[in-house]
Amino acid sequence: MSRINKNVVLALLTLTSSAFLLFQLYYYKHYLSTRNGAGLSKSKGSRIGFDSTQWRAVKKFIMLTSNQNVPVFLIDPLILELINKNFEQVKNTSQGSISQCTFFCVPRDFTAFALQYHLWKNEEGWFRIAENMGFQCLKIESKDPRLDGIDSLSGTEIPLHYICKLAAHAIHLVVFHERSGNYLWHGHLRLKEHIDRKFVPFRKLQFGRYPGAFDSSGITGMSHCTQKIPSNLEMAQYLDDNTVEAMAFRKSAKELLQLAAKTLNKLGVPFWLSSGTCLGWYRQCNIIPYSKDVDLGIFIQDYKSDIILAFQDAGLPLKHKFGKVEDSLELSFQGKDDVKLDIFFFYEETDHMWNGGTQAKTGKKFKYLFPKFTLCWTEFVDMKVHVPCETLEYIEANYGLLPGACQIFL
């Protein structure tokens, strides 16, 4: 009997010690290794990071584009922000000693790259290889706005976005097209009826909610990609005026806007579309034919004393000058075909901005108040120009409540 009891006790001790050993192994694996891994990922990237889903997708994509000589560049705002924050560390670290996974392994659904379409020589071959490497690719096309009005070409579609998915991570390839104003443009991502809405979480895409316009010079830096976009606006339809008179005015107004932009850019004076010109861009995506002038805004701190002379040298004589630099300055220049250029100077207060106005006939002065705003890039009549980012608030401060907009650009 005593021998049996000893065997039972021995078996119990063996079982208990084995259970305790298994618990120690479990604790080490799931708690201590996790903590150590977190420390590693903060410095050079842990093995877990290198094996992450997004890193595998990005590595394969970079390998694919490199082997096929496809000139892509990184535009992902999250990764660019991380690189920018750690720029000094990256710059002062020898090649290979800092892990790329430090930046690319940040959890997310997409990584955004871009390419200039005219430099892509073998599109079809690239996609065949991508599919052989395990990617599922989706091509999104739409009408080329550069061909609108050309009967034989209007409606021609061009590629705007490519989305290539590998496992749970997707590469968003934004296609940049050259525009006549010497800048690059990408289109709105609109899903056609046949496209599977569950292919990827499209709502999380950083690019595509609006078209975008960017400088073509220094494209590798892409710092302008971090700029804000105008507020989300509803869609509305306005009948277009295609009479001979309207077309003639728009042509003259466009030429005047181009000349004004060239003059101000040469002076280094930033400006934005204001008043009726901003309203036309917002509401009708075009110049309002009955406005009879072009309106620009400039912050008073950007005023330069030679601005009047510069416009006169450009062939635009001064028609009116109201107010003074320290109060309610407004300049008006006479363009050809009786189209006028009005420049309103804006003054900043603690909680608002304002510009002054003067009635030419009576000399009566007005003060127009605006909520504070910042500036964003947009595309308008084949030009890259600024508009207030807080577009709706800005226009409603000028004109009251509006029903909606045609479309909004970056």
Every domain of the chain and the residues it spans: 53-89+104-215, 244-399
Taking a C-beta distance cutoff of 8 angstroms, is the pair 382, 260 a contact? Answer: no
Angle 115-116-120 from CA coordinates, rounded to 5°:
85
Tell me the CA distances in angstroms from 373 to 12, 91, 258, 267, one per residue in order.
76, 35, 24, 23
Residue 160 has pLDDT above 80, yes or no: yes
DSSP annotation of 389: S
Place of tokens 């430090």: 102
pLDDT score at 186: 84
Query: CA Rg, the chain, in Å?
Result: 30
pLDDT score at 266: 94
- The residue with greater pLDDT, 18 or 294, is 294
Q: Write the DSSP string, 50-93.
A: HT-HHHHHHHHHHHHHHHTT--EEE--HHHHHHHHHTHHHHHTS
- The residue with greater pLDDT, 109 or 343, is 343
Q: What's the token pair of residue 22?
A: 């298994």
Taking a C-beta distance cutoff of 8 angstroms, is the pair 160, 109 a contact? Answer: no
Taking a C-beta distance cutoff of 8 angstroms, is the pair 357, 368 a contact? Answer: yes
Compute the average pLDDT of residues 76-83.
82
Q: What is the pLDDT of residues 26-46, one digit of tens each?
A: 544 444 344 434 333 343 434
CATH of 53-89+104-215, one of 3.30.460, 3.40.50, 1.10.3470, 1.10.10: 3.30.460
Lowest mean pLDDT segment, chosen from 166-170, 229-233, 270-274, 301-305: 229-233
The distance of Cα 81 from the centroid of its chain, to the nearest Å, equals 14
pLDDT score at 5: 62
Lowest mean pLDDT segment, chosen from 61-65, 90-94, 152-156: 90-94
User: Fold identical between 53-89+104-215 and 244-399?
Assistant: yes
Q: What's the token pair of residue 54?
A: 């997004």
DSSP annotation of 283: H
- The residue with greater pLDDT, 215 or 297, is 297
Compute the average pLDDT of residues 205-217.
75
Q: What is the pLDDT of residues 252-270, one digit of tens each?
A: 999 999 999 999 999 999 9
pLDDT score at 43: 38
* Of 22, 47, 24, 43, the residue nearest 34 (C-alpha): 47
Place of tokens 């799931």: 30
pLDDT score at 379: 81
- Total-model pTM: 0.54
Half-sphere exposure of 97 (CA within 13 A, CB side): 7
DSSP annotation of 393: H
Q: What's the token pair of residue 63?
A: 């390998």
The distance of Cα 241 from the centroid of its chain, to the nearest Å, equals 31
* Domain 244-399 bears CATH identifier 3.40.50.300: no
Residue 295 has pLDDT above 60, yes or no: yes
**Range list of β-strands (E), 279-364:** 293-299, 318-324, 327-334, 340-348, 353-358
Residue 288 has pLDDT above 80, yes or no: yes
Secondary structure of 109-122 in HEC code, one letter for each residue: CEEEEEEEHHHCCC
Split at pLDDT 50, 70, 90, the class of 348 is very high
Q: What's the token pair of residue 313?
A: 């040298």
- Can you tell me the distance from the alpha carbon of 176 to that of 174, in angstroms, rounded to the nearest whole number? 6
pLDDT score at 239: 55
Residue 330 has pLDDT above 90, yes or no: yes
pLDDT score at 263: 96
CA max distance for the chain: 122
Most confident of 64-73, 175-184, 216-225, 308-317: 308-317
Its sign, for the CA torsion 210, 215, 218, 223, is: negative
- Can you tell me the distance from the alpha carbon of 389 to that of 179, in angstroms, rounded to the nearest whole number? 22
Query: Phi and psi of 85, rounded to 5°?
Result: -65, -30
Residue 105 has pLDDT above 90, yes or no: no
Tell me the CA distances in angstroms from 198 to 201, 202, 352, one per residue in order.
7, 8, 44
Split at pLDDT 50, 70, 90, the class of 90 is low
Residue 407 has pLDDT above 50, yes or no: no
- Can you tell me the distance from the alpha carbon of 393 to that of 398, in angstroms, rounded to the nearest whole number? 9
Residue 7 has pLDDT above 50, yes or no: yes
- Can you tell me the distance from the alpha carbon of 363 to that of 223, in angstroms, rounded to the nearest whole number? 45
Mean pLDDT of the chain: 77
Q: Across the strands, what pairs with 348?
A: 353
Angle 246-251-252 from CA coordinates, rounded to 5°:
100
- Can you tell me the distance from the alpha carbon of 282 to that of 273, in angstroms, rounded to the nearest whole number? 10
